[in-house]
Structure 1
Amino acid sequence: MLIENFSNLNLSKDFLTNLDSLGYTKLTAIQQKSLPLSLNNSDLIAQAKTGSGKTVAFCIPIINKLNIKNFRIQSLIIAPTRELANQIALEIRKLSRHIHNLKVLTLCGGTPFKPQVLSLSHEAHIIVATPGRVLKHIEQNNIDLENITTLVLDEADKMLDMGFYDDIMQIIDTLPKNRQTLLFSATFEKNIERLASNVLKNPTIVKIENEEKVHIKQKFYEVKEENKTALIPAIISSNKAKSILIFCNMKIKCDQLADDLYALGLDVLTLHSDLEQKQRDETIILFSNKSYPILIATDVASRGLHIDDVDLVINYDLSSDEKVHTHRIGRTARAGKGGMAVSLYTSNDFDRVELIKDAFLDIEDENIEKIEDDLSYKIDSGLRTIFINGGKKQKLRAGDILGAMTAGIGLQKEDIGKIDILDFASYVAINKEKISFVLEKLSKEKIKGKYYRIYEK
């Protein structure tokens, strides 16, 4: 019999109270099938798409068996990208708010190396890392992994696609043999079987399949290349979408499309590998907190980013194959919610269209003439974001910022959206009609006894 509620799991009262405060009441399908096994210290191979609740599924057992008094690295989570590693670390911090002095450290490429060495010298309980960077720390003897009790490989298929197999095996060779290993993957192919056979002991296989076909409605339109951009506003308005993710295959196309849509009066963000990590983090925050309605991205954003409530995915360029297509459209319909994916293709894309249609048997072509552009529909966001030049390192918390805005300057709670706090910066979504008021008043108001520089992003 499957467990349906978090309250039925064998977790401490404080843990359950924290889960309830985060809005975690009912388990998703992958959580129902995996948590009873992983909480029992079993090795696990779990197949589930992005957005199915898998991060919570592997974070809960890690936190549950953590010995907070043992200030050594007890769990290692390996992920393919910096963005995913940062999102996992954030989720762990939320899930473990009931535990004092828990230290989670991220080790990712594209960020300064020496500060990581210093942080490692002070130890941590949980490490979240990309393969190349944690291997570099191992090779330079910066990290002690002999107390590891749990290893998680998240998005394992993506890591293998990116050529990380040898790095992963070198990392695993340094870990204790007596450990729990949890492998999460969106697909289960020969390369995953090979990895699993080398690193897991008598694993249980849990599969949650075909969720995309149940929840995501897809429309395909054959168009001329030169007509694509002009169709975007009509596609958005006809679907009454408020949060839109558009995929292009090349970085230069992202920037060109952003310029063209901006010229049409639309507010857009872009996300691709040419952006520095700080810019990428900020872009994800501004889109996920609903300050901008449209994000144009390359496939760097198709996996591993926790951006909820995306109403519409548009494949401006058709993906290279059906696997990439599946991951792209999986950005909508997260955690069982409905979603829409629209794909544009030209006569040169017929082969790729057929590949994708073979994987999704319910796809039908639509006539672009049937797209009804609702000119009265406003493609905009009711929120904008303010930047505060202080964060976790200054001991700022969401409650401090919320208090300064409400009790301090008199802003109503309903005018405040999501608050994101990074190490040295904080971002707050605000009713855009109140931005000028907040900028004027908050710059003169102390937050936790100190003045901070504040401006609009």
Structure 2
Amino acid sequence: MELTLFLKNLGIDQLNPMQESSLKAAQHFTDFVLLSPTGSGKTLAFLLPVLRNLDPNKNGVQALVLVPARELALQIEKVFKKMKTHFKVSTCYGGHDKKIEANNLVEAPALLIGTPGRIADHLRAGNFNPDTIHTLVLDEFDKSLEFGFQNEMSFIVSTLKGLRQRMLTSATFMDEIPDFVGLQQEKRLNFLQEKSIKPNLQFKKILSAPEEKIETLFHLICKIGNQRTLIFCNHREAVDRISELLQQSGIARESFHGGMLQDEREKALLKFRNGSTKILITTDLAARGLDIPEVASIVHYQLPYVEDAFIHRNGRTARMMAKGEVYLIMTQDEDYPFLDHKIPTEDVSQYHIIPEATPFETLYISVGKKDKVNKVDIVGFMIKKGELAKEEVGIIEVKDKSSYVAIARNKVKETLKKLSIHKLKGKKVKIEIAK
């Protein structure tokens, strides 16, 4: 396995101790359970052993990764593709076109990633042969159980007759692992208390009267400024309400929760990733498994009821040894057993200048992978036809039937006008600001 080359493609100098331990523990198809905090690099910890198991001379799906959420599936796929292994990978998840997924499975990928419900659907439809699968990963297994996927996972595991290795990851301690997993003489790695991979967090309390919380949040955002920030609420309704009130105050933001359509959720994350917006208001759905890089600040607008949720939220910042700030908006009377009573209090009432608009805006393009369009095509289109400089074109994401590109905000109007008279790869396309 060309480990050095894969790490170079990922922009990583070396593995952390947890990843090195996982790679060693998983030798010779040994079952193993990995317990490690959110943000510690678990994805790579299981992808490298998976990759070591893949045989370029064999056909069919060789490894299956089951995840609790579609966003996590997409993140793992992105990491695997960035490694440039030459093995085919496919993702299957609810909200995605089943026909497209079935077509992608005709020429079976070596690695298949998906949510339990959708993978079970494809198995029942006979869209891929489970007999060729020798490696199974149950990523964020505790979350999958919490989401009620036990029956689907049990069914899937029962079909994997050629299974040789099971890898299970979790960000919380698990007293008992269900029998259907079928672990055999597994090795267990527990890094949950490992200080070397714990994030470097600075906690601050922001005291507020209940009726003034949204105003307090406004001042806090003005204080944080133009840094990528996650604002956590306990309920979807709170996310929508706060989002609307912040918009009325002139604060640019995106929302993310389970009650939104899949397309809306993906668009919100996309804008957050590419820098079109620096604020994402969300429920605990975003606490784990999402591809959200370099989050500088976490804001608990509403604190969670249990410590595990608090830990996972905070794990979205200070990832991979960086520093991060965690703000707790609380009333004077609120008290949580998992909070350190020595957390300093900060007054943000003097901050009132709204952060400037981000330098990038996201454009929607009405073609994607199924139209044989890729990132290189879009870069060329933006530079040659849109007359943009290279530094004025940001992150590009190409979906099955659409694409999104971040471009310099101050060039949006003239760029749309220039592109309106041109075709992309000989095809007339619709291009507009992504709403």
| Aligned counterpart in structure 2 of residue 157 of structure 1, from 138, 142, 151 | 142
What pairs up with 1:171-320 in 2 under 5 angstroms? Answer: 171-176=156-161, 178-191=163-176, 194-195=177-178, 198-210=181-193, 214-320=199-305
C-alpha separation in 1, matches of 2:78 and 2:225: 31
The letter of the residue matching 1:427 is Y
What pairs up with 1:23-422 in 2 under 5 angstroms? Answer: 23-38=11-26, 40-95=28-83, 97-99=84-86, 102-176=87-161, 178-191=163-176, 194-195=177-178, 198-210=181-193, 214-346=199-331, 349-350=334-335, 353-354=336-337, 356-357=338-339, 361=340, 364-368=342-346, 370-371=347-348, 373-376=350-353, 378-422=355-399
Shift of 1:18: 5.1
| Match in the other structure for 1:430 | 407
Q: Secondary structure at the match of 2:130?
A: coil
Native 8 Å contact 1:289 1:418 kept in 2: yes
Shift of 1:186: 0.3
* Structure 1, gaps ≥5 residues long: 1-10
Q: 1:65 to 1:446 in 2, by over 3 A?
A: farther
Q: 1:409 to 1:39 in 2, by over 3 A?
A: farther
Shift of 1:289: 1.0
Q: Secondary structure at the match of 1:396?
A: coil
| Match in the other structure for 1:7 | none
The letter of the residue matching 1:441 is K
Native 8 Å contact 2:31 2:187 kept in 1: yes
| Match in the other structure for 1:5 | none
C-alpha separation in 2, matches of 1:395 and 1:174: 35
Q: 1:127 to 1:82 in 2, by over 3 A?
A: same
C-alpha separation in 1, matches of 2:163 and 2:110: 18
Q: TM-score with structure 1 length normalisation? A: 0.87
* Structure 2, gaps ≥5 residues long: none
Q: Secondary structure at the match of 1:146?
A: helix
The letter of the residue matching 1:204 is K
Shift of 1:66: 2.1
The letter of the residue matching 1:314 is V
C-alpha separation in 1, matches of 2:413 and 2:57: 47
C-alpha separation in 2, matches of 1:198 and 1:421: 35
C-alpha separation in 2, matches of 1:140 and 1:397: 30
**Deviation sequence 1:99-144 (CA, Å, 0-9, x none):** 1xx4322222233445444544443322111112222333444431
C-alpha separation in 2, matches of 1:44 and 1:226: 49
The letter of the residue matching 1:416 is V
Q: CA RMSD in A?
A: 2.5
Q: 1:87 to 1:238 in 2, by over 3 A?
A: same
C-alpha separation in 2, matches of 1:113 and 1:390: 19
Shift of 1:409: 3.8
Shift of 1:77: 0.3
Q: 1:21 to 1:103 in 2, by over 3 A?
A: closer
**Deviation sequence 1:166-188 (CA, Å, 0-9, x none):** 33222212113541211111012
Aligned length: 432
Q: 1:16 to 1:407 in 2, by over 3 A?
A: farther
The letter of the residue matching 1:391 is G
Q: 1:335 to 1:444 in 2, by over 3 A?
A: farther
Native 8 Å contact 2:228 2:297 kept in 1: yes
| Match in the other structure for 1:6 | none
| Match in the other structure for 1:441 | 418
Q: Secondary structure at the match of 2:290?
A: coil
C-alpha separation in 1, matches of 2:59 and 2:280: 40
Q: What is the percentage of aligned positions where both structures have the same residue?
A: 32
C-alpha separation in 1, matches of 2:273 and 2:299: 17
Q: Secondary structure at the match of 1:105?
A: strand
Native 8 Å contact 1:419 1:428 kept in 2: yes
Shift of 1:153: 0.6
Native 8 Å contact 2:363 2:432 kept in 1: yes
Q: 1:237 to 1:28 in 2, by over 3 A?
A: farther
Shift of 1:29: 3.6
Shift of 1:384: 0.8
Shift of 1:199: 2.4
Shift of 1:372: 5.7
Q: 1:425 to 1:112 in 2, by over 3 A?
A: closer
C-alpha separation in 1, matches of 2:28 and 2:288: 29
C-alpha separation in 2, matches of 1:108 and 1:306: 16
Shift of 1:446: 4.1
